[in-house]
Amino acid sequence: MHKGILILIAIMAGAQLDAMDGVVLLHGLCRTSASMDRMAAALTKAGYVVDNFDYASRRAGVGKLSEEVIGAAMKSHKLEGCDSIHFVTHSLGGILVRDYFSRHRDPRLGRVVMLGPPNQGSEVADHLKEWRIYRWVNGPAGAELGTDSESVPNQLGPVTFELGVIAGDRSINWINSLMITGSDDGKVSVRNTRVEGMKDQWVVHTAHPFLMRNREVIDATIRFLQHGKFKPA
């Protein structure tokens, strides 16, 4: 009997290991992985293997950043035992995921949740990208996030993975909001967070810098990773 129980436990442990899901967290422009700590803690508590990835967002353009950052994330030793690797991104992080997977395929790619992504660009970048101070603060990638047809986000086409987008509709930067058409989070309009091929969208009454720390956003993110939709059962 004792041996049978041990075998059963081993089988159950093996099944649990096979079913492990990993999540890569990617912060936004001019931020660090610390901005995603609350999200990381909640996802870990929900049973995911979490790699809260840090990268120098101001160092290069979107193409180079995506190859280095997403490429390294998919090879993360922390996620070696995971059959599925999901992504939760803030702002620029979502564009890196879109850019990388427009050129690469990986059967482990699971669901993706983007928080405040400039999927159709940001009018703030349109107005400020020629300013020297803007380019110094935001680096090459920040100048590539405009709304024109030649901007990086608008060159990427529809997404081919299971995507949920969470947008904010509250701003704490009224100067930026004057540049943006429609409801916005101070950086990106709700409309411009959308992208062809996305599966679901959830709008939360919070501002761009606080999306990843908002309790409603965290709960909705976990629901999408688990069920492929934001709406509670």
Where does the pLDDT of residue 19 fall: very low under 50, low under 70, confident under 90, or very high at 90 and above? low
CB 116 within 8 A of CB 210: no
In this prediction the pTM is 0.89
Q: Is residue 8 part of a domain?
A: no
pLDDT, one tens digit per residue, over 127-163 is: 887 788 878 878 889 899 999 999 999 999 999 999 9
The answer to whether position 177 is within a domain reads: yes
Kindly provide the residue ranges of all beta strands, DSSP E only, lying in the chain, ordered along the sequence: 21-26, 49-53, 84-90, 109-115, 163-168, 200-204
Residue bearing tokens 């190859």 = 67
Contact 166, 230 (CB under 8 A): yes
- Please indicate, yes or no, if residue 23 is contained in any of the structural domains: yes
As a whole number of angstroms, the distance between CA 162 and CA 199 comes to 6
Residue 14 is assigned to a structural domain of this protein:
no
pLDDT at 137: 79
Domain assignment of residue 214, given as a range: 19-227
Residue 9 forms part of a structural domain: no
Instruction: Express each pLDDT in 29-40 by its tens digit.
Output: 989 999 999 999
The answer to whether residue 1 sits within a structural domain is no
Q: 152 in a domain, yes or no?
A: yes
CATH of the domain at 146: 3.40.50.1820
The region of weakest confidence among 11-20, 88-97, 184-193 is: 11-20
How many domains are there within the chain? 1
Query: Does 208 map to a domain?
Result: yes
Residue 14 pLDDT level (bands cut at 50, 70, 90): very low
Which residue, chain included where needed, has tokens 């790619």?
109
